[in-house]
Structure 1
Amino acid sequence: MLTTLRRIVLEFSQDPKLQSALLRMVSQVKKAMNTDCCSVYLADYEKQNFLLMASDGLAEDSLGHTTIGFSEGLVGLVGQREEPLNIANAKYHPHFKHIPEVREEELNAFLGTPIIHRRKVLGILIIQQKEARNFTENEEAFLVTLSAQLAMVLVNAEARGILGQNQDNGKWLKQLTGVPGAPGVAMGNIVVSQPKADLDSVSLQKVYASAEQLKRYNEAVARTRIDFADMSVKLGDVITDASLDIFEVYKQLLDTANLGKDVTSKINSGWSAESALKLVIDTYIVKFESIEDAYLRERASDIRDLGNRVLFNLQQQARVDESLPDEFILAAQDVTASMLAEYQHLGLKGIISLSGSNNSHAAILSRALGLPAIMGVESVPLAQLHQQLAIVDGYSGDLFIAPDETLKREYQHLIAEEDALTVKVQQVVDLPAITQDGKAIELLLNAGLSTGFEHSLHAGAVGIGLYRTEIPFMNRSCFPSEQEQTLWYRHVLSAFPKQTVTMRTLDVGGDKSLPYFPIVEENPFLGWRGIRITLDHPEIFLLQVRAMIKANHGQNNLEIMLPMISSVSEVDDAIRLINQAYYELSSELPEQEGKLPRPRIGIMLEVPGVIFQLKELARRVDFFSVGSNDLTQYLLAVDRNNARVASLYDGYHPAVLRALKTIADESGKYMVPLSLCGELASDPGGAILLLAMGYDKLSMNPHNVARIKWVIRHIDFQRAKVILAHALSLETAKQVHGYLNEQLELVGLGGFVRAGM
């Protein structure tokens, strides 16, 4: 049955027309399960009903016309209960609703299962039979498994349908929704970046230009043959056994008698070269994966590799040097920091990333650059987005493709209000961050995401609360020398001569990797990262610390911060190494050059366990700094880069707020200066709560300093404490969000939630 299941799902995904895909699917299910009827209803949330879209067994003239309300009949009951419903004789069930036009009088047995994607019921899949009986457990399991697999395919098909509609009818296409990655609104044409060939990302298209597509395909095959020949020659110098025969197999598969014949047939029927290749390769993969022999079954990966290589040459052939528009929105399967660095000065106005979440590093960098971003828009066929006019709403996560004039005017007005707010907050950029009743707090910068930080001097901050030293390490092919690091750090320290600069020691692992120091782990966020790596490699740690201390000579504005601390012993070991580096350098310094300043040492509070050892840690370090992003991730057991669980990651979760309050209380008790350098500090509501908790410093990206300073200067400290007390009593993150937005409105700061709202 597994092979049957895969074939049904594959053929469904390959049909670009949803209606014909559904009709083929119900017929295949009916045949596979040897039943008398199979039907599928799709949910329409606007009309609050299920529409009969396809059936093999019910009246044909009812398809596309018959509807059942969300709370009506057995179909509605399956949707409400969100679980399978297996009934021997449906007509005697109290929820049965007789619908004459579907002509199901002879059908008795009923098995329905919901098609659910991310807690949302997309439709109902049903099989029926004349014989009055309960369907078996195996039949029910098959239908449930099929429904689960159809859910993602159905979402993708829906997206293809949205983007494939005729845009000349004057109607804007309904929005797609992702995860809000960075606040703000942007409008412009989309530029798609596709870094690698992947057949899974190909969107099926018919172009009906067979001669042109055949020429493209044949040229790509010729190029692929040359590639395989080159690979074989290069490897032949080091490999002499029969393992190189795989390249000969690849070349044979490309012959017109094999894959080539099938691809040519698909192209002649109207498919684009890329689509034809995908259809054929997918079919071959399913066939190979269904073979019992293990060796032959493994050849499916070879077929996939071959297909991706031909696709790569097709894409290279089609890739032309396009001039970028003056303003554009960047879209990619996975927007990376290097992409943002490449495009940020070329008219980049917004970000669409099909993967990732609101706390991936791409999202964090987008916020630092003031670029609206939407993450995790998983169901979008990337290729079809290219050059489309789009609106990116980074507040709600809504993505509008080809909007009409009314929607464009609405968002143009919103963009104008945002620009006006940005100008307005600049009035306080050089003023202190002090509340209306005299409570002061220091606003610092998060820096190091890019080499150009000189503009940050004018952001209105009083220092750098977090300088990420790992970024220069990432842009190299080997570890940097002590001298190179010394020059980097001196450049940063001298740029802020009268301000404190807190440098975090090398923090890699998790989702931050070095190309020359690969770390492969099943669970990297709970693995070898941060201080764990550098303590295991003191030669790396000592080199970096020596460079920092040398760079600080003559500046005396350095603080060193240790990331990912989870125990007292780690702090003791790190301080011992820092002292070693300091005394070594002190002994090397000529007497006439004066005493070498010893930097203050602090730790990041990111691992929840350290909350219960603050007393012991306070005796060892000079300051604490909360990394609220990772602290939230670990407290809630949510991978912040995983779009599937992104909705569970929330810095306003009551557990997170109460943990932050405990840290503030304990730090005050032991008189340890306390800062926070996570994303919560950049949010107006978060800044108010942290101010009221007693945090001494908040560190954020330059784009948000003036905004948060405006908020601090337009609220009373006593009012902030009242807001905090109530927020800590709430039970859900949703309640906290609603309450804070309401309070911001009451004190005249509603525009900081969203301009114009």
Structure 2
Amino acid sequence: TKIKDGKGAHESILEFLDEIKREFGSLGDRYLRERYLDIKDVSHRILHHIFPRRIEWQPEEPHILIAHDLTPSETAQLNKDKVLGFATDAGGRTSHTAIVARSLGIPAVVGLSNATKEIKHGDEVILDGIKGVLIVNPPEKIKRTYRKRKEEYEKLEKELLSLKELSATTIDGYEVDLSANIEMIEEIEAVKRCGAKGVGLLRTEFFFFSERRLPGEEEQFEFYKKIASSLAPDPVIIRVLDIGGDKLYSWEEYKEANPFLGWRGIRILLEEKNLLKTQLRAILRASACGNVKILLPMISSIDEVMDAKKILEETKEELRKEGKEFDEKIELGVMVEIPSCALLAREMGKFVDFFSIGSNDLTQYTLAVDRTNERISYLFSHLHPAVLKLMKLTVEGGHENGKWVGVCGEIAGDPLSVPVLLGLGVDELSTSPIIIPEIKSIIRGLTMEEARSITEKVMRMNRVEEIRRYLREEMAQRFPLLINLFVEEEDAGDNR
């Protein structure tokens, strides 16, 4: 409309952004306010296509970047040789910017509200991405403490990276597949560098929404093919498009009062069959170039699995008729994110090839806690007894059917939770590439007897505080330096 009124593209887009910012800023829901960044990201990418230019805020020398906010694509473009880390006023642990920063190993502290007002160019700052702290003009005593901490961290990190070629095997020979969660081609090198065994979760949402249009089959095929062929013969588990809930995007016309309990994940894909079929065609074709598996999100019933399998078989038949190659034995798994799925694991295991526990959503739906709501975030814990019991049911249900069970949520990257996951019998852990070396070190430093003993005690406990305190004490005895550097007193340091 603005362009029709005679305004230029640049002016129209900036005015549109200003209007959207005012509208989103008045919303009461924190997550929806953060979605302004997604719209801003798309708008800036359009502007960059129309008016190509260098990003003005790129630094000329190594320093910490302080910004009101960064979009995911801007974060992905940061020169890590120059940007040592960044802090922003806006954002949160669940924002896409934070996810991208973690994936790329860029230290970041987000959601500080007033960092750009309080910090001046030339100020000396300490950015602690593990504890989520930014210290401005620190006294000498604090600087000495952090210099020592940095030296210890770098020394330990070097030792951990030396485990790259070794398997994630306990002292008594129990091997766990340790994989990476990624969403961009740029992360392939990080997967190789950290010694991950392939990709346990390839999120496709960032790829889908990095442009304002949906990618076609060929574009998707090239994306999946590049990742699968680069990491072959290691597996690449591709989750089909998971939108809705905490993954709302600006192009959606469907609006809901409670999107977390509404039209999301597999529910959307089973209605929008062409969207699902196009993605399945691309994934199947890419499976001829590597070890690819398919993962279905937000499964709550066996009916949903059967409906998805029917569409998958129809898609396979189409490709056969077209003479296009694909892996006829490609594995199909489901995300365990809803309690009903965990409770049905024994029965559902007859119809799928594997389970992948998404502990973030499983915790959220089990405890009725919106993990993006800061007001009740203290209630969110993947070590809640109810969540652990659902995970135990899932592992047992999978194994009874001869199916393997993985975990790809936040708990897989929590050093304190490793012995519990081992003790439950989990077969695969998938987490951010940067965290993999420390998780591998813990696995290699434990025996299954120790892990089972710790887990048995944990499963008899009924309070989160009790469980976390016990695990910290047990793990600090075995891995004192690692726990001191990588784990906070009350949390597992998720802001790296």
TM-score range, shorter chain: 0.7 to 0.9
Q: Choose the corresponding residue for 2:207, options 464, 472, 496.
A: 472
**CA shift in 2, pair 1:480/1:679, >3 Å:** same
CA distance in 1 between counterparts of 2:257 and 2:111 reads: 22
Distance 1:322 1:503 in 2: 34
Report the secondary structure of 2:421's partner residue: helix
**Matched-pair contact (CA < 8 Å) for 1:357–1:642:** no
Residue in structure 1 matching 2:105, options 370, 373, 378: 370
Question: Which one of the candidate residues 267, 274, 277 is aligned to 1:542?
Answer: 277
Deviation per residue, 1:660-712 (Å, 9 max, x gap)? 22222222223221000112111211222111110000111211222111111
What is the SS of the residue equivalent to 2:344?
helix
- Which amino acid in 1 is paired with 2:302? V
**What residue number does 2:245 align with?**
510
Task: Give the match for residue 501 of structure 1.
Answer: 236
Q: Distance in 1 between matches of 2:414 and 2:467?
A: 13
1:394 maps to 129
Aligned to 1:428, what secondary structure does the other structure show? coil
Equivalent-residue separation in structure 2 for 1:375 and 1:518 (angstroms) = 29
Matches within 5 A, 1:181-200: none
For residue 384 of structure 1, the aligned residue among 118, 136, 143 is 118
Percent identity between the two aligned chains: 34
CA distance in 2, matches of 1:464, 1:439: 20
Among 408, 412, 418, the alignment partner of 1:681 is 412
Q: Aligned match of 2:336 in 596, 605, 609? A: 605
Q: Does the residue aligned with 2:85 lie in a helix, a strand or coil?
A: strand
Kindly provide the CA deviation profile for residues 43-84 of structure 1, in whole angstroms up to 9, marking residues without a partner as x: xxxxxxxxxxxxxxxxxxxxxxxxxxxxxxxxxxxxxxxxxx
Q: Which of 454, 465, 468 does residue 189 from structure 2 map onto?
A: 454
Question: 2:343–2:390: 8 Å Cα contact kept in structure 1?
Answer: no
CA distance in structure 2 between the partners assigned to 1:231 and 1:463 by the alignment = 47
Residue 589 of structure 1 corresponds to 323
Tell me whether 369-378 or 493-502 shows the greater mean CA deviation. Answer: 369-378
Partner in structure 1 of residue 150 of structure 2 = 415
Pick the aligned partner of 1:529 from 249, 254, 264: 264
Structure 1 contact 560–601 (Cα < 8 Å) conserved: yes
> Is contact 2:130-2:486 (8 Å) kept?
no
User: Relative to structure 2, which stretch is displaced further, 578-587 or 403-412?
Assistant: 403-412
Aligned to 2:362, what secondary structure does the other structure show?
Answer: helix
Q: Is the contact made by 1:421 and 1:755 (CA closer than 8 Å) also made in structure 2?
A: no
Contact 1:376–1:643 (8 Å) recurs in 2: no
Letter matched to residue 263 of structure 2: W
Q: 2:439 aligns with which of 708, 725, 734?
A: 708
What is the match of residue 294 of structure 2? 560
Deviations 1:606-662 (A, max 9, x none): 011212211221111111000111111222222222233222222222222222222
Q: How many aligned residue pairs are there? A: 439
Alpha carbons of structure 1 residues 635 and 363: separation in structure 2 relative to 1, 3 Å: farther
**Aligned counterparts, 1:476-491, within 5 A:** 476-491=211-226
- Secondary structure at the counterpart of residue 399 of structure 1: strand
Structure number with bigger Rg: 1
- 5+ residue gaps, structure 1, are 1-229, 236-319
Query: C-alpha separation between the residues in 2 aligned to 1:343 and 1:656?
Result: 37
- Alpha-carbon spacing, 1:492–1:450, altered in 2? closer, same or farther (3 Å): closer
C-alpha distance in 1 between matches for 2:377 and 2:4 = 44
- CA separation in 2, counterparts of 1:534 and 1:734? 39
User: Match for residue 388 of structure 2?
Assistant: 657
Q: Distance in 2 between matches of 1:718 and 1:529?
A: 41
Cα distance in structure 1, aligned partners of 2:299 and 2:290? 25
Which protein has greater RCO, CA pairs closer than 8 Å, 6+ apart? 2
Match of 1:405 in 2: 140
Question: Contact 1:684/1:753 (CA < 8 Å) preserved in 2?
Answer: no
Equivalent residue runs for 1:69-80 within 5 Å:
none
Moved more, 361-370 or 432-441: 361-370
Retained in 1: the 8 A contact 2:233–2:290?
no
Contact 2:76 2:100 in 1 (8 A): no
Q: Quick one: distance in 2 between partners of 1:457 and 1:542? A: 31
Alpha-carbon distance, 1:392 to partner:
2.7
RMSD: 2.6
Deviations 1:117-142 (A, max 9, x none): xxxxxxxxxxxxxxxxxxxxxxxxxx
Amino acid in structure 2 at the alignment position of 1:597: E
Instruction: Report which stretch shifted further, 650-659 or 561-570.
Output: 650-659
Match of 1:754, SS?
Answer: helix
The residue type equivalent to 2:322 in the other structure is E
Q: Please tell me whether residue 632 in structure 1 is matched to residue 355 in structure 2.
A: no
Q: What secondary structure does 1:667 align onto?
A: helix
- The structure-2 alpha-carbon separation of the partners of 1:536 and 1:451, relative to structure 1 and needing over 3 Å to count, comes to farther
Quote the Cα distance in structure 1 between the aligned partners of 2:463 and 2:269: 38
Asked if 1:743 corresponds to 2:469, the answer is no
Aligned letter for 1:740? L
Q: How many angstroms apart in 2 are the aligned matches of 1:725 and 1:497?
A: 37
**Partner of residue 551, structure 1:** 286
Looking at structure 2, the residues matched to 322 and 476 of structure 1 have their Cα atoms a distance apart, in angstroms, of 22
Aligned to 1:440: 175
Q: Decide whether aligned partners of structure 1 residues 406 and 323 sit closer, same or farther in structure 2, where only a CA change above 3 A counts.
A: same
Q: Name the residue aligned to 1:22.
A: none
Residues 732, 376 of structure 1: alpha-carbon distance in 2 compared, 3 angstrom cutoff: farther
Partner of 1:16: none
1:458/1:372 CA distance change after superposition, 3 Å = closer
